[in-house]
Amino acid sequence: MPYSNYDNLAASSEALDKHAVARKTTWVSIWVNIVLTTAQIVIGIFARSQALIADGIHSLSDIVSDFVVLAAARGSARAPDADHPYGHSRYENAASLFLGVILLVVGAGMLWRGIERLLHPEDIPEVHMIALVVAVLVLVSKEGLFRYMLRAAQRVRSAMLVANAWHARSDALSSLVVAFGILGNLAGYRILDPLAAALVGLMIGRTGWKFGWNALQDLIDRGVDDATTVTIRERLLATPGVRTVDMLRTRRMGDEIVVDVHILVDARLSVSEGHYIAEQARATVMLEPQILDVLVHVDPESDTKGTALQQWPARSVVVGAAEALCRANALALHDVKLHYLNNGLEADVIVEGLREPASSGAEGVPIDDGIEPSSQSVADALTARFGLRAVRVLRVTGDTSAAPGEADVANRAAPSAKATAAGPAVN
């Protein structure tokens, strides 16, 4: 099952490390924002700065989003179960979407309030100097918080934590705008304070739209970027036995990637060898740290070419006809190997003779020119009945252990083709 991949120690350790880093950085962000929010709103009211109050509300939204991140990190760290075989990583996508909606609503409200004040410039008060001091302190604090959170997020490769870090950077930029607005108000251009508030609202709304849209795309199974797709394809093609890669599809589960792909192998390999090649290809792709699971489908030919395989007769039908033809030609059917290909069905029919083969000369060389007539009759009849592209009839001795010189081959599609037998098992 897919979630068996989580049963290794490395994956569990990485998940726990990511959860621990998420908790630590988020709690740091929460406490910093609590202090900043209190200072911005209280001083903003006292200093009569709408821009500083707007930035304080922005910081308050950060606290809410931080708690959302904590809840999502805890949920996504849960182990896979029967209802969620791929794990709970999409808690992170859902949290990012919720965070984006919060920012979009807050930004729209602040933009609307700023525009209202701009429409009535006569009501704009003069801002107190302390508002500028607080705005600069907030700017420095938010930039430091951004750098701290981004380093931690990149270390554990968490898209959600990276998004939260850049959210802190957007806060720093908004605080810079607020500082310039307050400075302009103090210089006599009072309209700059509500203008700064409106710009902050616009920046917050833009950030919310970006995070929300990306999260929504991941929730509806958007594929990974082109560079990652190329890397996955190159790993698959580097696997011995893989001829071509078709229908490579990817989707995100939180920070991890689920892959399903069709690989083309030799059409006449055994099922077990084809499975072995698929497992080798899967293991190669799983070496990428972000890969959660890989589903590999083995094709003997490209699914994008040729006709539908459903038009060819089922195995039971072909085997039944082969048994009847063998009985009619004094042969015992030992095995049938069918090759369902896009442009035709091929059959390898292995039979045991119930009568002596054609007489031979003193040195064991057949007197006739090659193929046992009864075997050729079986090949001709199967080809005529089912329209097969090729039929090869291999005749072995009664003990099913043919030695060199003891096997005849009837090849309906290509009579000049050479074939050998080392026993009844032919793949």
pLDDT over 90 for what percent of the chain?
Answer: 21
pLDDT digits (tens, 9 = 90+) for 146-178: 899 888 888 877 776 787 787 778 778 888 888
Of 426, 244, 265, which is closest to residue 338 (Cα–Cα)?
A: 426
Residue 16's pLDDT is 56
pLDDT band at 107 (very low <50, low <70, confident <90, very high): confident
> 69 and 164 in contact (C-beta within 8 Å)?
yes
Residue 406's pLDDT is 42
At 405, list the tokens: 């010189």
pTM of the model: 0.62
pLDDT digits (tens, 9 = 90+) for 190-231: 888 888 888 888 888 888 898 889 888 888 888 888 999 999
| Alpha helices by DSSP H, 157-191 | 159-186
CA distance 340 to 314: 10
The residues, ordered by sequence, that sit 6+ positions from 97 with a Cβ below 8 Å of its Cβ are 211, 212, 215, 216, 219
Is the pLDDT assigned to residue 68 strictly greater than 90?
A: no
Rounded to 10 degrees, the C-alpha dihedral 315/320/326/328 comes to: -150
Task: Quickly name the fold that domain 9-220 has.
Answer: Alpha-lytic protease prodomain-like (1.20.1510)
Report the sign of the C-alpha dihedral through residues 5, 8, 12, 17, in that order. Answer: negative
At 278, list the tokens: 């698929």
Of 65, 62, 73, which is closest to residue 98 (Cα–Cα)?
A: 65
9-220 and 315-354+373-396: same fold?
Answer: no
Task: Quickly name the fold that domain 315-354+373-396 has.
Answer: Alpha-Beta Plaits (3.30.70)
- Measured CA to CA in angstroms, residue 76 lies from 88, 157, 159, 221 at distances of 5, 14, 13, 17
Residue 248's pLDDT is 94
Q: How many residues does the chain have?
A: 427
Taking only Cα atoms into account, the Rg of the chain, rounded to an integer number of angstroms, comes to 36
| Selected residue with higher pLDDT from 5 and 79 | 79
Please work out, in degrees rounded to the nearest 5, the angle formed at the alpha carbon of residue 330 by the alpha carbons of 328 and 335.
90
At 416, list the tokens: 């000049």
| Selected residue with higher pLDDT from 6 and 183 | 183
pLDDT over 70 for what percent of the chain?
Answer: 82
Q: Kindly state the average pLDDT of the residues 97-103.
A: 85
For residue 406, the tally of other CB atoms under 10 A from its CB is 14
Domain 226-299 falls under CATH 3.30.70.1730? no
pLDDT digits (tens, 9 = 90+) for 33-63: 899 999 999 999 999 888 888 888 878 877 8
pLDDT digits (tens, 9 = 90+) for 334-388: 899 998 887 788 899 998 876 554 444 444 444 343 446 788 888 899 988 988 8
Q: What is the mean pLDDT of the chain?
A: 79
| Alpha helices by DSSP H, 77-119 | 90-118
What are the start-end ranges of the E strands in 235-366?
A: 244-253, 256-264, 291-299, 331-341, 344-353
What are the start-end ranges of the E strands in 190-326?
A: 244-253, 256-264, 291-299
Residue 421's pLDDT is 34
> 119 and 199 in contact (C-beta within 8 Å)?
no
Tell me the domain boundaries of the chain: 9-220, 226-299, 315-354+373-396
What are the start-end ranges of the E strands in 47-150?
A: none
